Structure 1
Amino acid sequence: MSKLAITRDTKLCMSLSARPGNFGTRFQNHLYDALGLDFVYKAFASDDIEGAVRGIRALGIRGCAISMPFKEAVIPLLDAIDPSAAAIEAVNTIVNDDGRLTGYNTDYLAIVALMEQHAVPRDTAFALAGAGGMAKAVASALADHGYTRGTIVARNSATGRALADKLGYAYAAETPAGTAMLINATPVGMAGGSEAQALAFPQSAIDAATIVFDVVAIPVETPFVAAARAAGKRVITGDAVLVLQGREQFVLYTGVQPDESAVAAAAAFALAP
């Protein structure tokens, strides 16, 4: 695999996050190189979302991945919202077509694919921790695909109730007893965060569950995932979400459909220590 020289014609893609990681940069650049595409990808951190979006437009940056805490705040700054993001009211991907910025949500598509891959029955009762952008993507994907027995568990009762009411789910401040599937869509357990060593759900809830799903991808083995494995539960990890949504972003930016072997190689490279 030979790396193309960067020139004035090279297309730039980027990510924008409060705490950028390396997965997107490594994943996207590996695919660009493997497929001989004249693109380059770079992660950025900023607390000025309006200025960052102006930069995307002014500099002709082809695409931008959006992470916490900007998935909702970015919406009024864009020219158009794809249905995948409009229903969720959260954007994780911006595509720039000659100065016209459109927001998408590839997290939604990844969640649907994972539920299908793991053959999770649609009558499974679940508790979803969180009410932010990722939680909205997860909850909306589940609601749209027939998962009706859900509870939104959120510290912020206003946002938690709003999400629950919008999708026809219950709201609770604490995890309901005996819930079959637990889903963490909060930063609890994320490397570098203030709650990196915390469990996203109580141990008693983990012991009662049959399947757990942690959207946090860095690290893959969060305390929640480790506790679930130790208890013998079925586990879905956040790296699977990263790979699936990253592939969709790649397609949106480049218009190229990578084959599964190329995606697998890029994922292995991006997730390596």
Structure 2
Amino acid sequence: MSLSGRPGHFGSRFHNRLYALLGLDYVYKAFTTTDLAGAIGGIRALGIRGCAVSMPFKEAVIPLLDALDPSAQAIKSVNTIVNDDGRLTGFNTDYVAVRRLLTEHAVDPATPCLLRGSGGMAKAVVAALRDGGFRNGTILARNTQAGAALAERYGYAFATDLDGRTAPLLVNVTPIGMDGPDADALAFPLDAVAACAIAFDVVALPARTPFLVAAERAGKSCITGHAVLVLQGLEQFIRYTGVTPTPEQVADAAAYART
């Protein structure tokens, strides 16, 4: 199951497709709630195997759990709960997915990065970068308190506006470019995109944001939010079931979930 302030359909379709492909007797359902403690108690009492957690519950759920995996402990944010005979452990598979993608794309940890955003997902991305050895970073955020605190925690610089800044690795962790009112906006201006080497956008819908389209046209290496979404969902699936799907099954489920 999943708990979210605004439930979507990708997770349900992705997980249920994999259950069908693998012949597993599981079902994944999305819910919202105004009683978080009651919902978590229900997971424990009913023996629900696992639960994805989205905003605004990622931090509020922590006191209701029995333990935190290092992936969640590092950033005090949970996006996955696993129930082992009534013992609930919180994980953060966003963190795991970002670290894996940086490795898969062979991004050199010596690469300076400029990250835009300071919300819950930004915490996971910054922690993954820092733990992956990325020491030279700047956080750009309009929220001075949150941005400065995040930068200080991980030893990064902080700025409230771009002021001509760029870096070889640009990372967008804001809703800019997401389907909705900011769908046509660029997370970074074209001159910054032209000067970078790698563009990383955690926005999953659409998979090709204006920022990534501009980067592709400029011949830059790109990492998509859709890839983060699929990998973090795969990590959840493995933790819930103990089964690792084939790459072909994952690709099938991801394509199915997009429709």
Question: TM tier, shorter chain?
Answer: over 0.9
Post-superposition offset of 1:53: 2.3
Post-superposition offset of 1:213: 0.5
Q: Which residue in 1 is equivalent to 2:169?
A: 181
Q: Aligned pair count?
A: 258
TM-score by length of 2: 0.93
What is the rounded CA distance, in whole Å, between the counterparts of 1:152 and 1:50 in structure 2?
Answer: 34
1:114 aligns with 2:101: yes
TM-score by length of 1: 0.88
What is the rounded CA distance, in whole Å, between the counterparts of 1:30 and 1:72 in structure 2?
Answer: 29
1:248 aligns with 2:235: yes
What is the rounded CA distance, in whole Å, between the counterparts of 1:191 and 1:253 in structure 2?
Answer: 30
The ranges of structure 1 where at least 4 consecutive aligned residues each deviate by more than 6 angstroms after the TM superposition are none
State the identity as a percent. 62
Q: Residues 191, 49 of structure 1: CA spacing in aligned structure 2 closer, same or farther, 3 A cutoff?
A: farther
What is the rounded CA distance, in whole Å, between the counterparts of 1:230 and 1:190 in structure 2?
Answer: 19
Show the 5 A alignment for 1:95-244.
95-175=82-162, 177-192=165-180, 194-244=181-231
- Which amino acid letter does the alignment assign opposite residue 171 of structure 1? F
Post-superposition offset of 1:47: 4.5
For structure 2, which runs of at least 5 residues remain unmatched after alignment? none
What is the rounded CA distance, in whole Å, between the counterparts of 1:237 and 1:98 in structure 2?
Answer: 36
State the SS of the aligned residue for 1:108.
Answer: helix
Q: Which residue in 2 is equivalent to 1:4?
A: none
Q: Which residue in 2 is equivalent to 1:260?
A: 247
Post-superposition offset of 1:48: 4.1
CA-atom RMSD, angstroms? 1.7
Contact 2:114–2:166 under 8 Å retained in 1: no
What is the rounded CA distance, in whole Å, between the counterparts of 2:40 and 2:115 in structure 1?
Answer: 31
Q: Residues 186, 49 of structure 1: CA spacing in aligned structure 2 closer, same or farther, 3 A cutoff?
A: farther
Show the 5 A alignment for 1:42-57.
42-57=29-44
What is the rounded CA distance, in whole Å, between the counterparts of 1:183 and 1:85 in structure 2?
Answer: 21
Show the 5 A alignment for 1:2-151.
14-151=1-138
